[in-house]
Each structure stands twice: as C-alpha cells, then as structure tokens.
Amino acid sequence: MDEPRKWHHGYELSKATELLSGTLYPILMRLSDRGFLDHKWVETEEAGRPPRHVYRLTAKGVAHAKEQFAISDEVGASPKASVSRA
Amino acid sequence: MNLLTSSCLRLSEWLLRKQRPEWARAMRAELPHLDSQAEQFRWAFGCLTAAIKQRFAPMENGTLRISRWVMVVETIGLFGPLTLAWFEFTFGPSGIVRLNAEIIEKVFLNQPGGAYLLALWYAVTVTGLIGAIGLFLGMRYVWSGRALHSRTLGFTLIGVLSGPTIIGAAANLILGLVGPEPNFGIFMMFVALPIVGIAHLMYLAKAAEPSMLAVAK
C-alpha cells in the first residue's frame, strides 16, 4: 500500500506478502475479477527471458483496500491478520 | 528446470487451459526469475495448487462450467451404492414388496432377533430411498445448476440417514439385540458418504459473499 499505483510482478508480491504462489495467484485472480486489480504484460530487460505479468491496484481497488485497512484499525487487527482469517 | 517442476507447470497449464490460460502463462513467466531449483519447484507446486483451486472454484460458486463432470462422478459415487441397496431391499428377490404375512412369520418372527432384522429391513427400505433422492438432486445440479436450497430438507435427509444408524448401534450396544455386526465399510458406503453428498449439495446452494476479505479465502 506504500505505492499502490506502482506495477509489481508476481514473485515480488509473493516475497512482499510472504504468500506462496498457490495462495497469491487465486487472490490476484479474484481481485482482478472484481475490478480491484489491473494487469498487463511487460518485456523484461534481460535477454532471452519471457515477458512478465505485472499487477497494480485500480482506483477502485485502492479505495476498497483503504476502507478495509480502516476497518482493521477499528477492530484492532492488522489487515494481514484479517486476510489470513478470511 | 527439473522434471518435477516442469510437470507441475504443464499440469497447471492444462488445468487452466480453458478458464484462465493467461494466468497460467503469468505464473510460468515468473519461473526464470527465481534463483534456485528448490525455489522454482516450490513456485511450480504453488502454481499447481492455484490451478486446482481455480478448477474447483466454479463448483464453490454454484455454477456449472467445469465442475459438472466432477459432480456426475461424485453423485454416482456417493449415492449410487445406497440407491442400489434400496432397490435390492425393495424390489430384489427378498425385497420388501415380496414379503407377505406367512414369510414374515416364518422367516423373521419365529427366529431369534428376527423382529429386529425385519425392522432393520424396513428401515433400510425407507432410508435407502434417500440414495435415489440424492441421485436426483445431484443430477439436477449437474443439469440445471440448482443445488439443495432447502436447509430443512437437507437436515431432514441427514437426520433420516443417521437416525437409524444411531438407534441401531445403541440398541445393539445396550440391549444386546442380535443384528448385523458393525461394519465400517457399510457405514461409510450407506450412511457417511450420502451424508457428505447432501451436505455438499447444501453447501453449493450458499451464495458467495462479495466481501474483500472473502477474496482472500
């Protein structure tokens, strides 16, 4: 949430959130289905490597995430804990 | 990339080939950027897990896309044995429709524990009908996407299935009545699995919650 409109690739998100790919990608797919996430393919600078899929929150996603953070603050749980519980 | 890693990736791509091929490619595209083979395998195994979750997601949401054939197999597997048993106990050579007063007197009532066995015979005939009902409900879900919305009906079916089992087991235990020996396989096939089937049909009727937290389910 520090740079919500910056593009991130899957491995980077996996490391940042400490979620394994088997947990992370279903979440990304659902977020995308609900219009919270933009995604696109970008060429890599390293030769011989395939293009990567990158992601960022949409304006709707940022607003919704902020709302969820606020709710989490109110109930005294970290957003991560809320996500884990869900 | 070792054989195990590439197998996981191939399988996940195959599983997602119709629903989300782009996401399968996206997960694969990350692989060359991981440092070690162990990390690559962990990533690929995660891709496979994600693909399996996605493959079964339509079933959770009560739609039909991929899961209808899974549901056909599940319905036959869970309700088929009970339906066959019901048919045999009702219409088979010794079925309930062929019993008359003379046979009941001779074969059941004049034998030790015969009354209990006769009661069991009738109980199986009644509860076994749930197999046929389950088959119908499962196939209706496959055909129309309509699961078991009535919780009353669902819990009644579960109660009718489990009730005689509990009463029968208690009667055997407390009164020492003569009856069939407890058999785990029979219990699984004719009681536990149909209950799982009904519970699953009830679960499928639940609407998915559109909350952000549910996204992370």
End-to-end, the C-alpha distance of chain A in Å comes to 19
Chain A residues whose beta carbon lies within 8 Å of the beta carbon of residue B27? 10, 21, 25
Work out the number of other CB atoms within 10 angstroms of the CB of residue A5: 11
* Angstrom distance (rounded) from CA B130 to CA B90: 13
Considering CB atoms only, which of B47, B57, B216 is closest to A21? B47
Q: What pLDDT digit, counting tens, does each position of A38-58 carry?
A: 999 998 887 778 889 999 999
Q: Is B56 on the interface with A (CB under 8 A)?
A: no
Q: Is A31 on the interface with B (CB under 8 A)?
A: yes
Chain A residues whose beta carbon lies within 8 Å of the beta carbon of residue B24? none
Taking a C-beta distance cutoff of 8 angstroms, is the pair A82, A69 a contact? no
The kind and range of the H/E element at A40 are: strand A37-42
Q: Is A26 on the interface with B (CB under 8 A)?
A: yes
* Angstrom distance (rounded) from CA B175 to CA B91: 31
Q: Is A34 on the interface with B (CB under 8 A)?
A: yes
Q: How far is A6 from chain B (nearest CA, A)?
A: 18
Residues 6+ apart with CB under 8 A from A47: none
Please compute Rg for chain A using Cα positions. Answer: 14
The ipTM, to two decimals, is 0.79
Q: What pLDDT digit, counting tens, does each position of B134-193 carry?
A: 999 999 888 887 888 899 999 999 998 888 778 777 777 776 665 556 677 888 888 899
Chain B residues whose beta carbon lies within 8 Å of the beta carbon of residue A23? 46, 49-50
Contact A23 B46 (CB under 8 A): yes
Contact A22 B49 (CB under 8 A): yes
Supply the pLDDT for residue B186: 81
Q: What mean pLDDT do residues B116-131 have?
A: 85
Q: What mean pLDDT do residues B73-95 have?
A: 90
Q: Tokens 């493959």 belong to which residue?
A: B55
Contact A21 B22 (CB under 8 A): no
Residues of chain B numbered 9-28 and touching chain A (CB < 8 Å): 20, 22-23, 25-28
Q: With 50 as the cut, is the pLDDT of residue A5 above it?
A: yes
Please compute Rg for chain B using Cα positions. Answer: 24
**Which chain B residue lies closest to A29 (C-alpha atoms)?**
B23
The secondary structure of residue B36, as a DSSP letter, is S
Overall pTM > 0.90: no
Q: What pLDDT digit, counting tens, does each position of B168-181 carry?
A: 777 777 766 655 56
Supply the pLDDT for residue B77: 94
Taking a C-beta distance cutoff of 8 angstroms, is the pair A38, A56 a contact? yes
Q: How far is B54 from chain A (nearest CA, A)?
A: 7
Q: What pLDDT digit, counting tens, does each position of B102-111 carry?
A: 888 887 888 8
Q: Is B54 on the interface with A (CB under 8 A)?
A: yes
